[in-house]
Each structure stands twice: as structure tokens, then as C-alpha cells.
Amino acid sequence: MSEKFSVSIESPQSGWMSLRLRAGGRQFVAVVSHAPYDSLRELIEGLTALLEGAGAVVVRWNAEPEEYDFELKAEGDGSLSLRVVRYEGHGRALAGKRTDFIWRGPRVEACLPFWRELRSMRARSETDVFEQNWRRAFPLRELRGLTQALEAHVGAAGIKPPS
């Protein structure tokens, strides 16, 4: 059995937001930028692709001066592994590369915490003035696609499309 996995994404401020992953006694925390990558959109698209049968996706995050890759890989037994790789700078030199977080568990148990946090973010997006503070539009179409992919895996049990 896998360790419980949780995700926390704070509301954006001035183009930055805090991102936290937890599993067991381990955690990963970073403050990430809206640029140059459209990481939030790529994360949602990547999770959807994994639920729809993709083998692996990489989502890049900029944290100035560090960069992080979320390496998500579908395993043959229906599980998914998540590895967070840190690079010391934008050059992504191998000498400055290290793994900061690893988790493995059922695919849906990996996707649901992200989905719940993204839905929560969407619900507070008007109050948070999301687009102004993240400097990108909220990826609503992509979130709808993730919701549909999750519904296909877990049925209608508690999953409702974001409003």
C-alpha cells in the first residue's frame, strides 16, 4: 500500500505561488513562477494524458534560480511514480541535479489530490484575482478534461465538474 499523498497550492501573488507535496514524513515545498513555462496548464494536461494512457510526462517549473521537473511515469501495474528533480539553474546542468521528492502509488490516488487542489484554486480564483496575480488565465478547459478523465476512472462517486 502506498503512503497517503497530498498536494497544496497557495493562491498566486505577483506571478508566484507556493506548491507543497507530502507523502508520509517527506515533503517538497517550492515557490514557483508563472514564467517562462505554463506549468499549471502543463500539469493538468499531463495528469489527463496519464489517465488516458500516456506512459510518462514531465512538467517544468521555474523557481528562480532553481528549476524543477515533475517526472510522472505510469507503471505497468496501474500505479504512477512521481519524482521531483531539482536543477540549480536554468542551464539544467547535470552536476547541479538532484532528486528532492519521490512518491509511488495508484494512478488515481496521484491525480485526485492535484485535482481537488486545482478545483479549490478555481473556486477561489475570482476572489484571488487569479489571472492578475498568476499573470495567466486559469486553465479551465484543461481542468474540465482532467475531471472527465477522472470520472472515467472512478465513476461519478463524488466527482463533479468544476463550476
Q: Is the pLDDT of residue 116 over 60?
A: yes
pLDDT for the residue numbered 161: 43
Residue 91 confidence class, pLDDT cut points 50, 70, 90: confident
pTM for this predicted structure: 0.91
- For residue range 2-42, what is the model confidence (pLDDT) as tens digits? 689 999 999 999 999 999 999 999 999 999 999 999 999 99
Query: Which three cell numbers mark 157?
Result: 462517486
Q: Is the pLDDT of residue 109 over 80?
A: yes
SS3 annotation, the chain: CCCCEEEEECCCECCEEEEEEEECCEEEEEEEECCCCCHHHHHHHHHHHHHCCCCEEEEEEECCCCEEEEEEEECCCCEEEEEEEEECCCCCCHHHEEEEEEEEEEHHHHHHHHHHHHHHHHHCCCCCCHHHHHCCCCCHHHHHHHHHHHHHHHCCCCCCCCC
Q: Is the pLDDT of residue 156 over 60?
A: no
Query: Which three cell numbers mark 101?
Result: 521528492
CA dist., res. 49 & res. 56, Å (int): 9
CA dist., res. 118 & res. 56, Å (int): 21
Q: Provide mean pLDDT across the span 133-148.
A: 95
Q: Is the pLDDT of residue 157 over 50?
A: no
Write down all domains in the chain, each with its CATH number in brackets.
5-154 (3.30.2450)
pLDDT for the residue numbered 74: 94
- For residue range 9-18, what is the model confidence (pLDDT) as tens digits? 999 999 999 9
Q: Is the pLDDT of residue 97 over 80?
A: yes
Query: Which three cell numbers mark 137?
Result: 488565465
pLDDT for the residue numbered 155: 61
The DSSP bridge partners found for residue 58 are 71
Q: Is the pLDDT of residue 153 over 90?
A: no
